[in-house]
């Protein structure tokens, strides 16, 4: 297991993926067809946990981490990398959370303190869930702007000036 400080693999999670998985095979599209519908929130270990997707690979984690960073306007503080797991910590609304990937369980988000998490941390996790539940944060195309959107944006700005 090795610890990677924030930024040591670059600020871009996609770059970190390329560095750590050079030469790996692409994911099987059949496995990740319905990623959006996989999100759930549970409280079975004494703290709440968001399950984003249960069956995915490293590439999906890096895409998800990049999209989460944009959606929540966060920075990853600590990055712990193991052979089959990744743990990236981030601060959101004054509480620390971990986005976790494991080859056997997929991608989850939970309070960094686990069972010792304050009730406030679980409430904030509910807010994170509300922000992401209707978005396909595993998609590389979540933040792509289409040509028509650029056109509307251009004309919209012109009319307001």
How many angstroms separate the CA atoms of 119 and 98, rounded? Answer: 16
Over residues 94-141, the pLDDT tens digits come to 999 999 999 999 999 999 999 899 999 999 999 999 999 888 888 887
Domain extent at residue 45: 2-160
Q: Closest Cα partner for 139 from 67, 52, 38?
A: 67
Over residues 135-151, the pLDDT tens digits come to 888 888 777 665 556 66
> Which is more confidently placed, 14 or 142?
142
**Residue 161 Cα distances to 38, 137, 151, angstroms:** 43, 34, 16
Relative orientation angle of helices 13-20 and 58-72, to the nearest 10 degrees: 160
Q: How many domains does the chain have?
A: 1
Q: Report the 10 Å Cβ neighbour count for 76.
A: 22
Q: What is the pTM of this model?
A: 0.68
Over residues 46-82, the pLDDT tens digits come to 789 999 998 888 999 999 999 999 999 999 999 999 9
């Amino acid at each position: 297991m090795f610890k990677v400080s924030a930024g040591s693999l670059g600020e871009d999670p996609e770059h970190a993926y390329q560095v750590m998985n050079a030469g790996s095979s692409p994911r099987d599209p059949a496995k990740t067809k319905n990623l959006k519908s996989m999100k759930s929130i549970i409280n079975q270990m004494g703290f709440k946990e968001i399950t984003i997707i249960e069956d995915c690979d490293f590439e999906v984690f890096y895409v998800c981490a990049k999209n989460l960073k944009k959606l929540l306007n966060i920075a990853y503080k600590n990055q712990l990398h193991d052979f089959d797991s990744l743990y990236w910590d981030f601060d959101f609304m004054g509480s620390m959370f971990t986005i976790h990937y494991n080859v056997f369980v997929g991608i989850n988000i939970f309070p960094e303190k686990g069972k010792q998490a304050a009730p406030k941390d679980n409430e904030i996790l509910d807010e994170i869930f509300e922000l992401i539940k209707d978005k396909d944060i595993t998609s590389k195309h979540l933040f792509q702007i289409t040509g028509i959107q650029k056109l509307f944006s251009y004309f919209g700005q012109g009319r307001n000036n």
